[in-house]
């Protein structure tokens, strides 16, 4: 994508030809330039000197001095872990890396995690268990064009990632989604299938598909014997899920389960792709493992023209989880509790490994501990809006409000920034350089396209300035993205995500650099062709059994609410709700409900309703959908205030990934008084 002036200080975005998007942009990409000149842009630091007072403009030196002094005082009184850092999957690789280094060295805290824990953590954990490494797509996205059949389990790319659909035009799609999404509609129009399980039951559906394929003799026995281990132990769970039993639980007809299994297994080139719909559960890691087991049983991963992959969502969803802003991680996708990893990274940083803290709390656990007796008393937030994006949002807002110091670096006044003691205005994507890693593990060069407005600094400059105030040398926290990339490469040498061969020059020369990219120049566009990343080279079947969602419906909460994205908006909506075209398209949250269900609750199409869970209440406009399940309602999660879908969601956590259960909440509907049109910006 390129950025060009469009007159009167405004900018427009235009697509560039590139293998991943093939010259296409989604609606959000076409309108992204509008935010660069938004009148709501933050242009000066803001400081709130006491609770309840309005934040006042201050200069940078005063703001940074205040932050450093408060951090020092809080840590002196309560210990190093009294300070916390919360990052984002939209940060560049360089920012992600330096943020993790800043937390562990300048602050000496273990309390760092990021919003990617709410998105891709379950697929990452399942991928590591099965294959020994996590890369969203272990093959170039262009390979999908060779497929005859593609399963999209819990993914709606027609709305969330439209350019990806261009790679799926040759395939028959099998869409697994409780909703008749735009992707499901396209699948049906093109002769594919839509299987609509009850929310939270797709693990059982994956086991049933495996069962159906084995009974009909469709498994790849040679592949299983030669390239995998653990088949029989895992099969014991699938053996209990014949299609008729799965139909009673999921609502998907047994005949459709068998038909889908045949279609997938007999295809000349097939892929199984999972998304957030599989992951955002208290059993999300096991659910993704069930889909991987199905793919392994059919012999798909590690072959040209077939495979398994996770569709990564955020702007740098892959790179953001590789370089140290996760609670348990060091750069290069190394574990922070591994002595060899600690020694290597400490050597690059020039410190004793013993000073590096150990693993900290995961994202929700970190947010939920804020202000508690043994939790952080201060938090620095970069690129995230947890007041909207976290589950049980009212509870998290209360935790944020209890802090002694909340610092937010952002370029608009998000809901989290509005709560902060200090707000730091930072550069936007077009005003800075750096690298991003896309869903296929390809590292991309992002070049500065427009001047930085006066008074605004980059995240790297902020980290540098704070680190110096905390006693570190200027050179320990570089502000030049290319210099940070070089250091990141050194820190990642030998790790699962090895970037040591990735340089600014190679990227500028247009090379396609997929990690692992070694110092000798070797790149890896396709993983697993010669073996998987476990020591024996074999993939692992992981035994996973079905269990119900953490929260079930009852007489008081008879419906299941599930959440997701819209074509017009992105993540917490802090940016897209400030772009006129997108805000006008979908100005308010809605609750999608079957007309018969709505009628039973006295709700006409277009009415305002109260959606009530055991945790909170959301105001939403009713939208009738004849294709909706009678027992399920859907809400998009891009809105703040009392229109936040995450006021309803359940913070029950996956025991492995620590992913909250966003996709299943027991709710009821009630009529509501009308609210002001478009009240959510």
Q: Going from the N-terminus, what domains does the chain have, and what CATH number goes with each?
A: 66-115+320-508 (3.40.50.740), 121-310 (3.40.228.10), 559-671 (2.40.40.20)
Instruction: Spell out the long-range contacts of 596-602 with Cβ–Cβ below 8 A and sequence spacing 24 or more.
Output: 596/630, 597/559, 597/628, 597/630, 597/631, 597/633, 597/669, 598/622, 598/624, 598/669, 601/668, 601/669, 601/670, 601/671, 602/671
Tokens of 98: 């330096």
HEC letters along 651-677: EEECCCCCCEECCCEEEEEEECCCCCC
Give residue-wise pLDDT tens across range 324-337.
999 999 999 999 99
- Alpha-carbon distances, residue 392 vs 141, 607, 613, 614, 665 (angstroms): 35, 25, 10, 10, 11
Q: pLDDT per residue over 379-408, tens digit each?
A: 999 999 999 999 999 999 999 999 999 999
pLDDT in tens, 112-169: 999 989 988 999 999 999 999 999 999 999 999 999 999 999 999 988 888 888 899 9
Q: Tell me which of 637 and 591 has the higher pLDDT.
A: 591
For the record, the structure tokens of 491 come out as 């820190």
Which residues are CB-neighbours of 212 under 8 A, at least 6 positions away? 242, 243, 257, 258, 261, 262
**Torsion angle defined by CA atoms of residues 96, 100, 106 and 111, in that order, rounded to the nearest 10 degrees:** 130
pLDDT over threshold 50, residue 306: yes
Higher pLDDT, 434 or 679: 434
Whole-angstrom distance, CA of residue 32 vs CA of residue 83: 34
| CA–CA dist 671, 136 (Å, integer) | 42
DSSP-derived secondary structure letter, 50: S
C-alpha separations of 18 from 335, 509, 674 in Å: 34, 14, 46
Q: Which secondary structure element, helix H or strand E, spans residue 446, and what is its range?
A: strand 443-446
- Which pLDDT score, from 0 to 100, does residue 680 have? 47
**What's the confidence (pLDDT) of residue 676?**
53
Q: In the chain, what is the straight-line distance between the N-terminal and C-terminal CA atoms, in Å?
A: 26
pLDDT at 681: 43
Residue 59: Cβ within 10 Å count: 12
Across the chain, mean pLDDT equals: 93
Span 206-262, pLDDT tens digits: 999 999 999 999 999 999 999 999 999 999 999 999 999 999 999 999 999 999 999
Tokens of residue 70, six digits: 């408060």
For residue range 457-506, what is the model confidence (pLDDT) as tens digits?
A: 999 999 999 999 999 999 999 999 999 999 999 999 999 999 999 999 99
pLDDT at 264: 98
Least confident stretch, 1-10, 536-545, 640-649: 1-10
Banded pLDDT at 577 (limits 50, 70, 90): confident
Provide the 3-class DSSP secondary structure of residue 23: coil
**Taking the mean position of all CA atoms in its chain, how far away is CA 680?**
23
Which has more pLDDT, 23 or 607? 607
CA 565, 567, 570 angle in degrees (round to 5)?
55
* Residue with more model confidence, 11 or 585: 11
The pLDDT value given to residue 567: 62
pLDDT of residue 610: 96
Tokens of 537: 């080279």
Asked whether the predicted pLDDT for residue 573 surpasses 90, the reply is no
pLDDT digits (tens, 9 = 90+) for 532-571: 999 999 999 999 999 999 999 999 999 999 998 876 676 7
Q: Does the pLDDT of residue 313 top 70, yes or no?
A: no
Plot region of 132 (φ>0 → left; ψ -120 to 50 → alpha; else → beta): left
- pLDDT at 4 > cutoff 90: no
Residues in Cβ contact with 624 at an 8 Å cutoff, skipping those fewer than 6 apart: 593, 594, 595, 598, 605
The model's pTM is 0.94
pLDDT at residue 490, rounded to an integer: 97
CA–CA gap between residue 623 and residue 605 (Å, rounded): 5
DSSP, residue by residue, 364-416: HHHHHHTTSTTS-SEEEEES--HHHHSSSHHHHHHHHHT-SEEEEEESS--TT
Encode pLDDT of 14-32 as tens digits: 877 777 777 777 776 767 7
Query: Which is nearest to 558 in space by CA: 662, 667, 661, 650?
Result: 667
pLDDT band at 512 (very low <50, low <70, confident <90, very high): very high
How far is Cα 73 from Cα 83, in angstroms, rounded to an integer?
Answer: 10
Pairing of strands 608-613, 665-671: antiparallel
Which tokens sit at 151?
Answer: 């399963």
Distance, in Å, from the CA atom of 659 to the CA atom of 647, rounded to the nearest integer, reads: 17
24: left (phi over 0), alpha (psi -120 to 50) or beta: beta
């Amino acid at each position: 994508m390129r950025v060009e002036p469009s007159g009167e200080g405004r900018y427009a975005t235009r697509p560039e030809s590139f293998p991943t998007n093939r010259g296409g942009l989604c609606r959000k990409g076409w309108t992204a330039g509008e935010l660069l000149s938004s009148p709501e842009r933050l242009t000066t630091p803001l400081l709130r000197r006491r609770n309840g007072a309005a934040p006042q403009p201050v200069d940078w030196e005063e703001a940074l001095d205040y932050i450093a002094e408060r951090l020092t005082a809080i840590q002196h009184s309560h210990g190093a872990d009294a300070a916390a850092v919360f990052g984002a999957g939209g940060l560049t690789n360089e920012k992600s890396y330096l943020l993790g280094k800043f937390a562990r060295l300048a602050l000496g805290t273990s309390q760092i995690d990021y919003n990617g824990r709410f998105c891709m953590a379950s697929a990452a954990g399942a991928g590591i268990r099965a294959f020994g490494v996590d890369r969203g797509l272990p093959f170039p996205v262009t390979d999908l064009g060779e497929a005859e059949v593609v399963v999209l389990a819990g993914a709606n790319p027609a709305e969330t990632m439209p350019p990806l659909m261009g790679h799926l035009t040759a395939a028959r799609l099998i869409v697994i989604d409780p909703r008749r999404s735009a992707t499901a509609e396209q699948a049906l129009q093109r002769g594919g299938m839509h299987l609509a399980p009850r929310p939270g039951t797709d693990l059982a559906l994956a086991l049933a598909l495996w069962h159906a394929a084995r009974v009909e003799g469709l498994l790849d026995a040679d592949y299983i014997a030669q390239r995998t281990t653990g088949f029989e132990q895992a099969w014991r769970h699938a053996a209990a899920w014949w299609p008729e039993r799965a139909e009673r639980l999921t609502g998907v007809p047994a005949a459709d389960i068998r038909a889908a299994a045949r279609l997938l297994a007999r295809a000349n080139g097939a892929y199984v792709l999972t998304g957030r719909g599989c992951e955002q559960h208290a059993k999300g890691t096991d659910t993704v493992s069930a889909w991987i087991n199905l793919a392994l049983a059919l012999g798909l991963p590690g072959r040209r023209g077939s495979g398994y992959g996770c569709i990564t969502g955020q702007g740098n969803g892959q790179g953001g989880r590789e370089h140290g802003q996760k609670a348990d991680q060091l750069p290069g996708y190394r574990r922070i509790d591994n002595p060899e990893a600690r020694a290597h990274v400490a050597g690059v940083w020039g410190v004793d490994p013993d000073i590096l803290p150990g693993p900290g709390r995961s994202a929700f656990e970190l947010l939920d501990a804020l202000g508690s007796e043994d939790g952080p008393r201060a938090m620095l937030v970069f690129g995230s809006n947890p007041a909207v994006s976290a589950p049980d949002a009212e509870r998290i807002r209360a935790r944020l409000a209890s802090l002694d110091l909340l610092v937010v670096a952002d370029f608009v006044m998000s809901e989290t920034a509005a709560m902060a003691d200090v707000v730091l205005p930072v550069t936007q994507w077009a005003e800075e350089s750096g690298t991003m890693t896309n869903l296929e593990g390809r590292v991309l060069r992002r070049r500065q396209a427009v001047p930085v407005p006066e008074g605004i600094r980059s995240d790297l400059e902020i980290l540098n300035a704070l680190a110096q105030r905390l006693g570190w040398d200027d050179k320990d926290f570089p502000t030049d993205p290319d210099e940070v990339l070089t250091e990141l490469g050194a820190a990642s040498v030998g790790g699962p995500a090895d970037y040591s061969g990735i340089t600014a020059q190679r990227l500028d020369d247009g090379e396609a650099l997929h990690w692992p990219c070694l110092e000798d120049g070797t790149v890896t566009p396709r993983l697993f062709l010669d073996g998987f990343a476990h020591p024996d080279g074999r993939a692992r079947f992981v035994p996973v059994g079905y269990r119900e969602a953490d929260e079930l419906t009852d007489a008081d909460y008879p419906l299941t609410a599930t959440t997701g994205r819209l074509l017009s908006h992105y993540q917490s909506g802090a940016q897209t709700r400030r772009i006129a075209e997108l805000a006008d398209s979908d100005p308010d949250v809605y609750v999608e409900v079957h007309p018969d269900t709505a009628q039973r609750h006295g709700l006409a199409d277009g009415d305002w309703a109260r959606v009530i869970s055991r945790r909170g209440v959301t105001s939403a406009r009713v939208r009738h959908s004849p294709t909706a399940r009678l027992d399920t309602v859907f809400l998009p999660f891009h809105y703040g205030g009392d229109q936040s879908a995450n006021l309803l969601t359940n913070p029950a956590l996956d025991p492995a990934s620590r992913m909250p259960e966003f996709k299943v909440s027991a709710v009821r509907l009630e009529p509501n008084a009308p609210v002001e049109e478009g009240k959510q910006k």
